[in-house]
A and B are shown apart, each in its own frame.
Chain A
Amino acid sequence: MTQETIIEHGRSQKNYWAEFWKSTELFWILAKRDITVRYKQTALGVVWSVVRPVLTSAILFFAFGKVAGLPFEEGVPPKLATFAGVLIWQFFANSLSQVSHSIVGNSNLVSKVYFPRLILPTSSVMVGFVDFLVGFALVIPMYLYYFFKQGFLPSWQLLFIPIFLAMAYLAAFGFGLLLSVMNVRYRDFAQLTPFIIQFGFYACPVAYSPINIENESWYPIYNLNPIVGIIDGFRWTLMGGHAPFRWESFIPSVIIISVVVFTSVAFFRKRENSFVDYI
């Protein structure tokens, strides 16, 4: 039986999701493109994926740990805790900027071929994910160092890493999708995104622990930032039980991310057929 497609104004294809899943090959090849192109004509290549989080962590450890003297929880290796925060934050921040740029950055495709547009933002995250994996490999030597130094051992919490990765992905995807759609009409949002990321860097516990602020009256409001829950949780998975699991940031994070993902996908679906008229 031949497939029948009906093209009409505002009609969302009944088989949209089927088509989306059928485009997995396109998903992978676009991801592969972004990854291959990433370090073309660089001498250090993928080493950059290690250098960036390491240098960032070093300077943060210096500024927040040494200069400001902000403590982490009892028994938590501070360098490792800073590195964990930087890793997951950079994954989120890179993904957010990739997703928000994904439609405008691929305008040559959007204006010339049809495919489920949702493929672009979903696949654009893969670059950041590869960066994350490469950087994450450094956790192993750090574990060895802290084991010999103070007998530190990670534990079963490690099994929960994928949950927080998925949350970071979904948060970047949800917020990035809103930005990507608005970016098609108003490039103002392309200016806004780096600012949000810079702002968020200090508003989230990337280089410090919430232990420093948990007694403040505004701490519940602070936890409404969904990224706080992700960073707290990710740090918890790596610390072998020395960092507390913070339900107070985890629950708002899950709720807010779910709401944002659903609304942003709906918003995107509603607008995607007219992207080409404004891009």
Chain B
Amino acid sequence: MNAIQVENISKRYFIDHQKKHGGPSGLKESLINGIQSLFGSKPKEATHSEKEEFWALKDVSFDVAQGDRIGIVGHNGAGKSTMLKVLSRITEPTTGRVTVRGRIASLLEVGTGFHQELTGRENIFLNGAILGMKQAEIKQHFDEIVSFAGIEKFLDTPVKRYSSGMFVRLGFAIAAHLEPEILIIDEVLAVGDAEFQRKCLGKMKDVSDSGRTILFVSHNLTAVQSLCNRAVFMNRGQMVAVGETGQIITDYMSKINQTSLIREWLTPEQAPGNDQVRIRKIELIPQFEVGQTRIDVRTPVKLRFEFWNFVKNAKLNLSMHFNSMTGETIFNLASPQIDANPGLITGEVDLPGNFLNDGTYTITMMIVKDASTVLYHLQESVMFEIDDYRGGVEWYGKWPGSVRPYFPFTIEQSEEVNV
């Protein structure tokens, strides 16, 4: 008996391309169209052609057996989150049909509906009710929740005074005590410190060992691998493959290992961004030795970026997260801040050789205003692979670690004893 049966699900969105001068499309336009159609004349074609169809999901079908722990992997924009939203009934599919057997709870965010003014205690009951728990169930688990989150001392403090860590811990603790037959989880592990992430993963393992069905979306492939027995690989709204987790992850890795060292958009209309900033170009330029064609651990690289700024008198800086293939951020590079005016902003940064270990890396590019507000961020802006190079080392195992610095080492035999 399948717990979830997904049959040919598609989801269409319309993207509004707003006119440059006309302002956002609103009531006025709709009213004018409405009145025109009342009098028999057709609404202007122009407004139609500005709406572009976009299929976030296209003809996706798969089954989830009772007790399965399914991971959904794929790039940003592959349709993973839309899939979860359809399954958790937050948005309806355009076509297709899903049959769900059993009580379902979804956790698309930690601490959904927390109210800043309410105390930890009040928020436990509020959030529990929102996630579909009965008040009696919450009372029963109350002490466990509090001790799991480790907030005993702050139970009667408004959550607006909580640190972000406490906030997240409390949110997860409540969700971890949900007892649905089917649990849907989206990227919640992306928050919290490493220690807490381990705790969460452990808790989720417990939940799955108790025979419940889990659907899990994450960029963190390590988490997917250790939690899920099956995986679905999605790309551009379509399901590419479904099967045993190890197999799917290998497939996924090989697909995404096709590196892309340059991303460029010619006009602001096509470029990713918003009305404040749009990214024009990001390029990774390897500084090869003569005769070299591939980046290896010794190769220095230069990163060059260009973006359009539309904000007057803005203090801007650029921040780059370097992420490993399993989704962890290895380090963050932040540029100095400049006083920017509308126009093109360019810059570059050099990464020395003998720095990153071999592997595949992606860069998340963030444009930050006033050192605090992220105006726009582009995940997986470029992706690059670093080959292994050992030089004189006569050892061929996997070199551990994220970085591989070449620090001058000295080693010598300082004394010799004759035996």
Contact = CB atoms under 8 A, between A and B. Distances in A.
Contact of B126 (A33, A40, A41): A33
A37 B93 contact: no
A7 B131 contact: no
Interface string B200-229: 000000000000000000000000000000
Interface stretch (B112-120, B311-319, B345-353): B112-120
Interface string A22-45: 000110011001001100110000
Interface in B129-166: 129-132, 134-135, 158
Contacts of B30: 186
A2 B87 contact: no
A6 B97 contact: yes
A108 B101 CA distance: 27
Contacts of A193: none
19 contacts: A4-B101, A7-B87, A8-B97, A8-B98, A9-B93, A25-B134, A25-B135, A26-B129, A29-B129, A36-B117, A37-B117, A109-B130, A111-B90, A112-B90, A112-B109, A113-B112, A114-B90, A186-B26, A274-B91
B118 A37 contact: yes
Contacts of B108: 112-113
A74 interface: no
Which of A5, A7, A273 has most B Cβ within 10 Å? A7
B68 to A, nearest CB: 15
A112 B118 contact: no
Given A9-B94, A109-B112, A114 B106 contact: yes
B121 to A, nearest CB: 11
A129 B99 CA distance: 40
A111 B122 CA distance: 22
Contacts of A110: 90
Contact of B130 (A26, A40, A274): A26
Contacts of B93: 7-9
B181 A2 contact: yes
B13 interface: yes
Contact of A33 (B27, B96, B118): B118
Nearest to B99: A6
A4 B89 CA distance: 13
B85 interface: yes
A277 interface: yes
A7 B184 CA distance: 15
Contact of B102 (A3, A6, A186): A3
Contacts of A115: 130, 132
Contacts of A11: 92
A8 B92 contact: yes
Contact of B91 (A6, A41, A188, A277): A277
Nearest to B26: A186
B87 A36 contact: no
Given A114-B106, A276-B85, 13 more contacts: A3-B103, A4-B101, A5-B89, A6-B98, A6-B100, A9-B92, A29-B126, A36-B117, A40-B158, A108-B112, A108-B113, A112-B90, A274-B92
